[in-house]
Amino acid sequence: MNDRFKLAVLNLLAITLVKGFLYAAVVPAWQAPDEPAYFKEIVALAGGELKSFTGHPLLYAMASYLPYEVGGEGYGKILAVRLLSVFFTAISVFFVYKIAKYVLPNEQFVHIMAPAIATFIPQFTFIGASVNSDSMVAAIFSIMTYLSVIVIKEGLNLKRFAAIVCAGVAGFFTKERIIIAFPLIGIVLVYGLIVRYKDKWTAFWEGNLSIREAIFFISSLVAAVMLWPYMSNRISKISIDGFQFERMLEFRPIMDLNHAIPVGNRMFMHFWGYFGWLHIPLMPWFYSAYKVLSVLSAAGLALGLLSALKGFLKGENRASRKDAGSFAIQLSFLMLSVFASIYAVLAYNYLTRGARRGVIFF
């Protein structure tokens, strides 16, 4: 990447920080969903009490403790915590750039446009400059996504495995709903393991693994065995306004068109920009313009995937087939991540009947 593109990326990060700071400084407190409850958790933590007022884990409150303490008095404390959210938002924008650069290394235009679209989404600024754990969980998931596309192409090693696991655990203790992505991440980990060691399975069965490789296999197995009872116990107890998380597997009623279409329309508006406590929309023309942009983006992804599959099928040598295949899988992973997020919100609204109240909860 030449200096001009590097400067553009740095400018986008600077813009993210500056506009986030302006929003946090100018917009009065308690404008985002659950902002008072999140701040109340931080106040309680500063008073020596670990207590959730949002129903979510408290890692965000713990991360916000230091900004809260150095924020001075009054609104300064709220501003300091909001600025931490702005920092998490900048991390998300940076890793959107990293993902675009890694998946499409020769498309410099996409390297700039991907983080530019992310940072200029009004809703992203709104939530990403508020006292809200969504900014932190978005940053964590962007890191997990970046690591995952690397694993798809280059395979799994101990460092990547540990980083993804740590990010997943951190995400879980920030907002437990991130587990909707865990099955997809798990598939990526298994695929990455196969990619890295596909030429060594014979050595595995013949007992010819190196000490380092044996440690990796054993540590992976031990980590899975140790974490599974705790995580499965936590997952089984997760409820959404009284509904057990397991009910999110009720696929047919959740995807019923009578439910999915009206909720999906509201989701689209809330994704791009819906302010206050999700009661203040933008002008109608704004959503129309972004519907066109969304359709074009989806078409571009679909064409990219088809092109990669075509290259894989027509690959004249092993290297070209491998590159086209990993690219297709990377794009598929990114698209499935989006679909998983959409399904999670549809399911949440089905379980809580939020659509009947005209409110979409995230």
The token pair at 46 is 């500063």
Q: What is the dihedral of CA 252, 255, 256, 262, to 10 degrees?
A: 160
Question: pLDDT digit string (tens) for 2-40?
Answer: 677 788 889 999 999 999 999 999 988 898 888 999 999
Over residues 56-60, mean pLDDT: 90
pTM of the predicted protein model:
0.80
- By percentage, how much of the chain surpasses pLDDT 90? 30
- The pLDDT of residue 8: 87
What is the full DSSP assignment across 70-135? HS-STHHHHHHHHHHHHHHHHHHHHHHHHHHHHHSTT-HHHHHHHHHHHHT-HHHHHHHTSS-THH
Count of CB atoms within 10 A of residue 81's CB? Answer: 26
Question: pLDDT digit string (tens) for 248-279?
Answer: 667 777 777 777 788 888 888 888 888 887 78
- Helices of type H across the chain: 3-26, 35-46, 59-70, 75-103, 108-119, 122-128, 134-154, 158-172, 182-197, 201-206, 211-237, 251-254, 257-272, 284-314, 318-352
